[in-house]
Amino acid sequence: MNKLPRFKFFKLSAVQPNSSLSETRQKLAEFQKQVQQSKAIESAINNVVKDLHKVPAQDEQPFIFTNNIEINEQLVRSALSRCDDITYRQFRAGKAKALLVYLSGLTDTNKLETTVIESLTGRLNSNETLGNINEITNLLITAANVTVVPKPKEAIANILKGNPLLLIDGISDAVSIDAAKYEKRQISKAENEDAAKGPHDSFNETLSDNIALVRRRTKDPDLKVEIFEIGVRTQTSVALLYVEDIVKPALADKIRSQLLSIRIDKVILSANIEEFLIDQIWNPFPQVLVTERPDKIVAGLYEGRVSIIVDNSPTAMLLPITLQDLMQSVDDYTGRPAVASLIRFTRYIAAFIAVFLPAIYVSIVSYHPGILPSGLSFYIAELRARTPFPSLLEAFLMEGLLEIFQEAIVRLPQKLSAAAGVVGALVIGTTVVEAGLANALLVVVIALTGLSAFSMPSYPFGMALRFFRIPALLAASILGLYGISVFFIVMIVFLCSLRTYDESYLGDLFDITLIEDWKDGLLRFPAKFLTLRPKRLGAKDRTKIGSEN
């Protein structure tokens, strides 16, 4: 029989020596004291957080800066959470902790290293205490532009612009350093408004560069530049430029108030601003001159106009404008006055052709073939006999092909647009005629119409002419030449009724009281006769420099 194993039992005792028990009680008391202190610290932090949350309701700030750099860092990190392109650089400035917060890719780190970090670490000993905020910004930091930003909302905005933020332990104000660095396109040749003579530089997408291009052309201290931040989310910089002793005060004040009243979440293009500045948004005619040439902006400013330049946009806006401004080119002022006057007059004829030539063709073929010579009438009738469509449908077909062809040329890369031109002109045109879809005369009419629209110095104005081509065709198909006449009169009345910033859209074209402005309207007089600025703009100083000689 197997024997059961024997177990030995021992008596456990919690009895400790008196010395050990006393030591344990002492440590327990210290631990309880630390717990109480931790609770006090936690309560203090909660009170601080509550105070921080009370402030935004008053001044719309996301938080407030404190004297504790660790709390400030957490607040900034919370405001910029999940922004992995934000860099937090910690270092010591003397005895105090310091923190740099900046946006990678938009900050010049070399400049930041030399003007901030080396300045603070090299000029201060490890045991030296920093003074007030003025000592830091004026004596220690060597950056060109240093700004104290007590408001966190402004500080966060500066970080997102590429300007680093400096936080120092013991100081409740933050410091913004101008060390932004943008990857930008270099100033290049004007692509859409190139000139045979004169300057070839154009605006790029950087606001500071564009303002510099304007400033380089004039040393006038009366040229004022006001910069606004528009766009609740994008905070896009928009510059307002005017010559103070020339521009009509009411004009500058009105445009300034319009800019300040814009409430939009994003501003990506200058067109986002343009649509808030014009009253008749459905009007196809451009009411703002958009240009990529700095010399055009300077010339407009010294006539009494106002310019608006939007950051990230390679163009600038000039306003108010008239129809004559849209028909003028830089080459008009670099060539002889007689030649420039002839070319300007030709542009007005081209504008008429761009709108009414297809309509005239339809009206003559459909309603008034008798006004043509007999031989030409028989020739057109022979051509029309080969096409199965009515003249209106035939014209609409060719007009649609022209619009597609124009859009293809504009959208294609430059190297392919030339090939598209050859294909459109030779292959499509010839094929349409041979297929009997349209006659050769209509192809010539439509081609001349397209060339006339492209001859306009202002591309938006050329697009407006293309828009009115359709109603002109409809009017011609209903009443023939009488319909064209009625539509032409309605169009002139419409243009006469247009006003941009209390100025007539037709300018001095039909106003005998502005006969002095005719010297630089439909015609161009020599420069020595252009002694006064345009009367219609209401400039405070109408006399041009050198007019007394």
Q: Which of 264, 288, 321 is the last residue of a domain?
A: 321
- Is residue 332 assigned to a domain? no
Q: How many whole angstroms from its chain centre is CA 140?
A: 37
Q: By mean pLDDT, which of 38-42, 72-76, 147-151 is the weakest?
A: 38-42
Residue 238 has pLDDT above 80, yes or no: yes
Q: How many CB atoms lie within 10 A of CB 10?
A: 5
Same domain flag for 467 and 358: yes
Q: By mean pLDDT, which of 111-120, 456-465, 488-497 is the weakest?
A: 111-120
Q: Which of 177, 199, 231 is the last residue of a domain?
A: 177
**Mean pLDDT (the chain, rounded):** 84
Q: Which amino acid, 463? A: M
Tokens of 303: 């006539």
Cβ 232 vs Cβ 261: under 8 Å: no
Per the structure, the complete domain to which residue 368 belongs is given by: 337-504
Structural domains in the chain (count): 3
- Of the two residues 19 and 84, the one the predictor is more confident about is 84
Share of the chain above pLDDT 70, in %: 87
Same domain flag for 234 and 142: no
What is the spatial order of strands in the sheet that 306-310 belongs to?
223-230, 236-243, 306-310, 316-319, 289-291
Listed in sequence order, the residues at least 6 apart from 392 whose beta carbon sits closer than 8 Å to its beta carbon are 362, 366, 473, 477
- Of the two residues 352 and 502, the one the predictor is more confident about is 352
Q: Which residue bears the tokens 């074209």?
A: 509
pLDDT digits (tens, 9 = 90+) for 117-161: 888 887 766 666 776 777 777 777 878 788 898 888 889 999 998
- Of the two residues 209 and 59, the one the predictor is more confident about is 209
Please state the φ and ψ torsions of residue 198, each to the nearest 5 degrees. 100, -175
Same domain flag for 140 and 260: no
- Of the two residues 132 and 44, the one the predictor is more confident about is 132
Rounded to whole angstroms, the Cα distance separating 325 from 65 reads 53
Strand partners of residue 499: 504
Distances (CA, A) of 104 to 77, 117, 157: 15, 17, 15
Rounded to whole angstroms, the Cα distance separating 164 from 176 reads 6
pLDDT digits (tens, 9 = 90+) for 470-519: 999 999 999 999 999 999 999 999 998 888 888 888 877 777 777 777 78
Cβ 288 vs Cβ 321: under 8 Å: yes
- Is residue 164 assigned to a domain? yes
Q: How many CB atoms lie within 10 A of CB 333?
A: 18
User: What's the pLDDT at 3?
Assistant: 52
- Is residue 478 assigned to a domain? yes
Residue 51 has pLDDT above 70, yes or no: no
Residue 548 has pLDDT above 50, yes or no: no
For residues 265-281, average pLDDT: 89
What is the band of 316 on the pLDDT scale with cuts at 50, 70, 90?
Answer: very high
Distances (CA, A) of 520 to 103, 215, 261, 331, 525: 51, 25, 35, 14, 6
User: What's the pLDDT at 352?
Assistant: 96
User: What's the pLDDT at 102?
Assistant: 94
* Closest CA relative to residue 149, chosen from 164, 139, 162: 164
What is the spatial order of strands in the sheet that 174-177 belongs to?
86-93, 96-103, 165-168, 174-177, 146-149
User: What's the pLDDT at 76?
Assistant: 92
User: What's the pLDDT at 511?
Assistant: 72
| Residue 239 DSSP code | E
Same domain flag for 272 and 358: no
Secondary structure string (H, E, C) spanning 124-174: CCCCCCCCCHHHHHHHHCCCCCEEEECCHHHHHHHHHCCCCEEEECCCCCE
Q: What is the pTM of this model?
A: 0.80
Residue 165 has pLDDT above 90, yes or no: yes
Residue 304 has pLDDT above 50, yes or no: yes
Same domain flag for 379 and 307: no
Rounded to whole angstroms, the Cα distance separating 83 from 534 reads 53
* Total residue count of the chain as it appears in this document: 549
Q: How many CB atoms lie within 10 A of CB 362?
A: 28
User: What's the pLDDT at 469?
Assistant: 94
What is the band of 461 on the pLDDT scale with cuts at 50, 70, 90?
Answer: very high
What DSSP letter does each residue of 388-441 carry, written as one string? -S-HHHHHHHHHHHHHHHHHHHHHS-HHHHHHHHHIIIIIIHHHHHHTTSS-HH
| Residue 107 DSSP code | B
- Is residue 32 assigned to a domain? no
Cis bond before residue 284 (omega within 30° of 0): no
Most confident residue range from 256-270, 368-382, 387-401: 256-270
What is the band of 47 on the pLDDT scale with cuts at 50, 70, 90?
Answer: low
Please state the φ and ψ torsions of residue 408, each to the nearest 5 degrees. -65, -40
For residues 107-121, average pLDDT: 87
- Is residue 445 assigned to a domain? yes
Same domain flag for 399 and 496: yes
What DSSP letter does each residue of 275-319 carry, written as one string? HHH-S-TT-SS-SSEEES-HHHHHHHHTTT-EEEEETT-S-EEEE
Distances (CA, A) of 112 to 101, 117, 155, 182: 11, 7, 17, 14
- Is residue 6 assigned to a domain? no
Same domain flag for 164 and 257: no
Same domain flag for 464 and 350: yes
Please state the φ and ψ torsions of residue 520, each to the nearest 5 degrees. -135, 55
Q: Which residue bears the tokens 């006090």?
A: 40
Residue 58 has pLDDT above 50, yes or no: no
- The C-alpha angle with vertex 195 and arms to 354 and 462, in degrees rounded to 5, equals 20
User: What's the pLDDT at 9?
Assistant: 47
Determine which helix (DSSP H) or strand (DSSP E) holds 344, and give its type and residue range.
Answer: helix 337-366
Residue 53 has pLDDT above 70, yes or no: no
- Of the two residues 15 and 434, the one the predictor is more confident about is 434
Same domain flag for 499 and 365: yes
Rounded to whole angstroms, the Cα distance separating 519 from 458 reads 21
Same domain flag for 285 and 212: yes
User: What's the pLDDT at 291?
Assistant: 94
- Is residue 14 assigned to a domain? no
Q: Which of 487, 504, 521 is the last residue of a domain?
A: 504
What DSSP letter does each residue of 15-59 carry, written as one string? ---HHHHHHHHHHHHHHHHHHHHHHHHHHHHHHHHHHHHHSHHHH
pLDDT digits (tens, 9 = 90+) for 181-229: 887 888 888 888 888 787 888 999 999 999 999 999 999 999 999 999 9
- Is residue 534 assigned to a domain? no
What DSSP letter does each residue of 511-529 carry, written as one string? -GGGGGGGGBTTSB--GGG
Residue 115 has pLDDT above 70, yes or no: yes
Strand partners of residue 307: 241, 318
Rounded to whole angstroms, the Cα distance separating 65 from 67 reads 7
Q: By mean pLDDT, which of 5-19, 179-193, 437-451 is the weakest?
A: 5-19
Same domain flag for 269 and 349: no
Long-range pairs for 375-383: beta carbons < 8 A, 24 or more residues apart: 380/439, 380/441, 383/439, 383/440, 383/441
Same domain flag for 277 and 161: no
